[in-house]
Amino acid sequence: MQTALQQPIQQSPFKRYGLIFGFLALLGIIALPTPEGLPVAGQRMIGILIFSVIVWMTDSISYPVSAAVIMSLMAVLLGLSPDIANPKVLMGTSKALGIALGGFSNTAFALVAGALFLAAAMTQTGLDKRIALFVLSKIGAKTNRVLIGVIVVGFILSFFVPSTTARVSCMVPIVMGIIMAFGVELKSRFAAVMMIATAQADSLWNVGIKTAAAQNMIAVGFIKSQLGIDITWMDWFIAAAPFSAIMSVVLYYVLMKLMPPEKDEIAGGKEAVHRLLTEMGPMSFNEKKLLFISCTLLFLWATEKILHDFDTSTTTIVAIAIMFLPGIGVMDWKQAAPRINWGTIILFGVGISLGSALLSTKAAAWLAKIIVSAFGIQTMPALIILAILAAFLIIIHMGFASATALAAAMIPIIISILQSVKTPGINIVGLTMILQYVVSFGFILPVNAPQNMIAYGTETFEVRDFIRTGIPLTIIAYGLILLLGATYWKWLGLV
């Protein structure tokens, strides 16, 4: 199945020669005369950024390998560039390598790494599966209620499993088991709707919950480091949850309208879910401990700056440490290590380093001036700026297979663009946070997000099915961004 998914991409000349195109673009940018107002290091960082975007968009090398290449390029090219503070001397490879590794000391990086361990614990104990089956067991066998159940499970798991890929990986075998137990065909509309909903519901709640996705941590990290504002879990939830809740309802109606299941009710459906839940047996002691730890952690996230001053990253790391303690914890290192996506961790750290270097070398500010001038947004109203930049991010996301990579490349530039705007009263932090929501809009193509590809790998739907439902979902989501920008978010002072 994996070969079948990869075959069309392997035949693409863009994939085959993407690495070469990337290096040629990098060399071309380095060879150009350095523009006025842009340091040599900044020019080289723009070249590295373009190289990164090309290899990420063409998928010519894996994300972990691309991370190693990007780190190497930063260490060498920045090391041989004049120092930003003292242009009379070279920066040196030691200092440049420190910049390339800087993302790994970021608190946002610690949170993402910790979140992946929490997701691994959910998988190890089976608690995520139990939560999903418990919710589905309460909904009945009507196809529309099963769809509602799948969306609700995506919502609930977003609180407890801070990894989109892990949540969808948990849900896919459960939904496949339901499809098989119901006795419907793999290529039926019922199967397609349930699997598309599994991916899309999780993408929607990536927006609503700060800890649900790694790309949110990138944005929060840059906002904190560049703008000096720390967005708490509850601040994010109050602002973003209404969007995700409304879009979850929209998702239900879009799928039911465009791909109505063949039957209104499937005989034996509820019994099938009950059987799957019964097969799990009673809740284990480790599951109970993990549920307690997860609920405590969720409480600490939600009450940050309200009942205590412990930041989200610190509480998560403490929870992970407790999960590994002998007698108290729920797993050991040997159980956790194979379940961790180390490639995501490496990419995330390098992504933060890339964005931070774009800012520190003044490359992001220089690019921002170019973009502000090109779009003429310097004195535009905040809502128009939001409309233009959101549309830009939606279009460019079509070429990305990772929202984490997209956030790493674009959020530093977005911050610099907003800092260049002269519109009175513009809220840079609020607009950056809202535009980060748009970064999670991987609704149109299966290749736009790992969770989409996991669902697509079940062969329950065609690419055209995903596009047919994804385009209206994206259009409505874009419209809702503007509507909330003109009303709810404006009332909150974010726009």
Nearest to 261 by CA among 311, 191, 208, 324: 191
Q: Supply the pLDDT for residue 485.
A: 97
Report the pLDDT value the prediction gives residue 5, as an integer from 0 to 100.
40
Predicted confidence (pLDDT) at residue 177 exceeds the cutoff of 80:
no
In whole angstroms, what is the distance from residue 415 CA to residue 223 CA? 8
Local confidence band at 11 (pLDDT 50, 70, 90 cut-offs): very low
Most confident of the ranges 93-97, 115-119, 269-273, 452-456: 93-97
Whether the CB-CB separation of 290 and 121 falls below 8 Å is answered with: yes
**Total Cβ atoms within 10 A of residue 493:** 10
CB atoms closer than 10 angstroms to residue 491: 10
Percent of the chain past pLDDT 90, that is, above it, reads 51
- Where does the pLDDT of residue 288 fall: very low under 50, low under 70, confident under 90, or very high at 90 and above? very high
Q: What is the mean pLDDT of residues 355-378?
A: 88
For tokens 């499970």, the residue is: 153
Residue 377: name the closest of 365, 388, 362, 392 by CA.
Answer: 388
Least confident among 43-57, 83-97, 161-175, 425-439: 161-175
First CA to last CA distance, the chain: 46
User: 281 vs 127, 130, 284, CA distance in Å?
Assistant: 12, 10, 8
pLDDT of residue 141: 67
**What's residue 378's pLDDT?**
84
Distance of CA 122 to the CA centre of its chain: 19
- The pLDDT assigned to 482 comes to 97
Determine the average pLDDT of the residues in 361-389.
Answer: 89
Q: Specify whether the CB–CB gap between 315 and 300 falls below 8 A.
A: yes
Q: Is 50 exceeded by the pLDDT of residue 9? A: no
What is the C-alpha separation between 495 and 93, in angstroms, rounded?
A: 42
Give the pLDDT score at 269: 65
- Contact 202/247 with Cβ under 8 angstroms? no
Confidence of residue 432 (pLDDT cuts 50, 70, 90): very high
Strand partners, 90: 82
6 pLDDT tier (thresholds 50, 70, 90): very low
Tokens linked to 173: 């075998």
Residue 305, by phi and psi: left (phi above 0), alpha (psi -120 to 50) or beta? left
pLDDT at position 179: 77
Residue 14 pLDDT exceeds 70: no
Rounded average pLDDT over 403-420: 89
C-beta of residue 258 within 8 angstroms of C-beta of residue 193: no
Q: How confident is the model at residue 249 (pLDDT cuts 50, 70, 90)?
A: very high
The answer to which of 78-92, 190-204, 396-410 has the lowest mean pLDDT is 396-410
What is the structure's pLDDT at 257? 94
Measure CA 461 to chain center: 23
Q: Are 50 and 32 in contact (CB under 8 A)?
A: no
Confidence (pLDDT) at 7 = 42
The pLDDT of 162-176, averaged and rounded, is 83
Which has more confidence, 477 or 280? 477
* Average pLDDT estimate for 278-294: 92
Across 109-135, b (16+ Cβ under 10 Å) vs e yields: bbbbbbbbbbbbbbbbbbbbbbbbbeb
Question: Within a 10 A sphere around the Cβ of 38, how many other Cβ atoms?
Answer: 18
**Does residue 275 or residue 159 have the better pLDDT?**
159
Report residue 119's pLDDT band, with 50, 70 and 90 as the boundaries.
confident
Model pLDDT, residue 13: 66
Is-contact 458 429, C-beta < 8 A? no
* pLDDT tens digits for range 46-100: 999 999 988 887 878 888 899 999 999 999 999 999 999 898 999 999 999 999 9
Alpha carbons 419 and 421: distance in angstroms, whole number: 6
The mean pLDDT of 169-177, rounded to a whole number, is 82
- Asked if residue 274 has pLDDT above 90, the reply is no
Whether the pLDDT of residue 1 is over 60: the answer is no
Burial grade of 86 (CB within 10 A; 0-12, 13-18, 19 or more): exposed
pLDDT at 272 over 80: no
Q: Residue 465: name the closest of 192, 126, 253 by CA.
A: 192
What is the pLDDT, as a whole number, of residue 199? 93
Task: State the Cα–Cα distance between residues 96 and 181, nearest whole angstrom.
Answer: 57
Q: What is the distance between the alpha carbons of residues 79 and 454, in angstroms, rounded to a whole number?
A: 40
Average pLDDT over residues 7-34: 80
Both tokens of 179, joined, read: 């499809």
Per-residue pLDDT, 12: 59
Q: Which residue has the higher pLDDT, 317 or 181?
A: 317
**Domain residue spans in the chain?**
9-104, 107-337
Please tell me the predicted confidence (pLDDT) of residue 2: 42
214 band by pLDDT with thresholds 50, 70 and 90: confident
Question: Is the pLDDT reported for residue 352 higher than 90?
Answer: no
Q: In this model, does residue 479 exceed pLDDT 90? A: yes
Contact 78, 72 (CB under 8 A): no
Identify the pLDDT of residue 267: 67
Computed over every residue of the chain, the mean pLDDT equals: 88
Q: What is the 3-state secondary structure (H, E, C) of the chain?
A: CHHHHHHHHHCCHHHHHHHHHHHHHHHHHHHCCCCCCCCHHHHHHHHHHHHHHHHHHHCCCCHHHHHHHHHHHHHHHHHCCECCCCCCCECCHHHHHHHHCHHHHCHHHHHHHHHHHHHHHHHHHCHHHHHHHHHHHCCCCEHHHHHHHHHHHHHHHHHHCCCHHHHHHHHHHHHHHHHHHHCCCCCCHHHHHHHHHHHHHHHHHHHHCHHHCHHHHHHHHHHHHHHCCCCCHHHHHHHHHHHHHHHHHHHHHHHHHHCCCCCCECCCHHHHHHHHHHHCCCCCHHHHHHHHHHHHHHHHHHCECCCECCCHHHHHHHHHHHHHCCCCCCCCHHHHHHHCCHHHHHHHHHHHHHHHHHHHCCHHHHHHHHHHHHHCCCCCCHHHHHHHHHHHHHHHHCCCCCHHHHHHHHHHHHHHHHHHCCCCCCCHHHHHHHHHHHHCCCCCCHHHCHHHHHHHCCCCCCHHHHHHHHHHHHHHHHHHHHHHHHCHHHHCCCC
pLDDT of residue 29: 96
